[in-house]
Amino acid sequence: MSAKSKTCFGKATGKPLTEYFSESEANSAARHQKEVQGYNWVPYQCKRCGKWHISPPNRQTPSHACHCCTDSNGQPKQSYETRDAAEQRAEILQQERGVSLRVYECPHGDGYHLTKNGY
């Protein structure tokens, strides 16, 4: 069973994302997209709503909240496991929001972060 989200919207379209209530449902939807439209989608669990969505694989840049570093608002910085994942997220943000970000290694060894500093 799926529904349109009231809290999550596509970055490119601004339209509500479809939300799935389990990973199994999201996997099924991803397979359906591949079979019907030839699109390769992957499921992910949303940090905002806790439900499942699907997206193109090139938008997947898994991250987690760093336990040591905070952003300018005092919130935990997002940490990316690899430099490549952080650079991919920086490129997505540049394209979608026009924000230039620099990648740097977490000084506490918790992956890689993004920053506006240095530009």
Residue type, 69: C
34-60 tens-digit pLDDT: 999 888 999 999 888 999 999 988 888
Bridge partner list, 4: 18
Q: Which of 45, 42, 40 is nearest to 21 (CA)?
A: 45
Q: What is the mean pLDDT of the chain?
A: 92
What would the DSSP string read from start to end of 4-62? EEEEEE-TTT-PEEEEESSHHHHHHHHHHHHHHH----EEEE-TTTSSEEEE-GGG---
Q: What is the pLDDT of residue 7?
A: 94
Q: How confident is the model at residue 119 (pLDDT cuts 50, 70, 90)?
A: low
